Amino acid sequence: MMSIFSSTEQLNLIRKILSRYIRLPFSSVTIPGAIMEGVLAHVRGGHVLNTYDFVDVIVSNEKIGWQVKSTKASTPVTWKRAKLPNASDLIEYSRKSTLGLQNLGNAIIEFCNEHAQQSIKKYDLDEIGYSRLVIKPGGKVSYFEKLLCTRDNPCIFNAGDFEWIWSTPKTSTKKEQLQSLHGIHKPTNKKWWAWHGLGENQLHFSGENAWWPSNNYSHMTAFSFPSDDEKLSLDNFLEMLSNYDITA
């Protein structure tokens, strides 16, 4: 069975392709998630799903898939839109008791786990991995892969690891900002989650940086953004296109 972890050669190829992409004249200071998905699919012989399923890229014959994220280090990861089917009742009860508050948080964690489990069943996967590109200050880029769950162990998060509180209401000069539900990771006493269930249901996973590996992690590669003089000029890029035979 193929692993969700790329080989050293595959990691080198991912780095090579991305390093060349960011030299293009129209590339910016970020690498879009769609680009990262396409690169991973190309290198691993899979395909991009372009759905709202948990997995973004799969290799069907090997029964593996990946959730793919690509952001700046300072940008909280949007895990998904967590629209709970019974959200109104759960929110109401969360205002009345500590148990109601915990039940709402537990429902969010269950929702996240079920989303991954649905992909395991739908695409007949044995493993789901995490494909993560992080753009750090100074133009440093790291890419790593992490095992999230398997068919035998399908839960990513343990609801018992979190306690939940509603944020303090904030009022700006323009409008009042809606409260969000914060999930505190009990082992570290740090905020990991922010659920905007009173608005658009976005679930931000700020604790995701706890997954970032050390520099000696074996399933990681790194590179840097090019300086301005290392990037292709628009004229040179257009000249390359004009000399490229699209019929070949």
**pLDDT category, 218, cuts 50, 70, 90?**
very high
Residue 190, pLDDT above cutoff 80: yes
Mean pLDDT of 82-110: 95
What lies within 8 Å, CB to CB, of 245 at 6+ separation is none
Instruction: Quote the pLDDT of residue 246.
Output: 65
pLDDT of 175 over the 70 cut: no
Entry pTM: 0.90
Per residue in 126-170, pLDDT (tens digit) is 999 999 999 999 889 999 999 999 999 999 999 999 999 999 877
Residue 165 sits at φ, ψ, to 5 deg, of -140, 150
Confidence (pLDDT) at 227: 84
Q: Which residues contact 181 (CB under 8 A, 6 or more apart)?
A: 94, 104, 105, 108, 164, 165, 166, 167, 193, 194, 195, 197
Structural domain boundaries in the chain: 8-242
Q: How confident is the model at residue 173 (pLDDT cuts 50, 70, 90)?
A: low
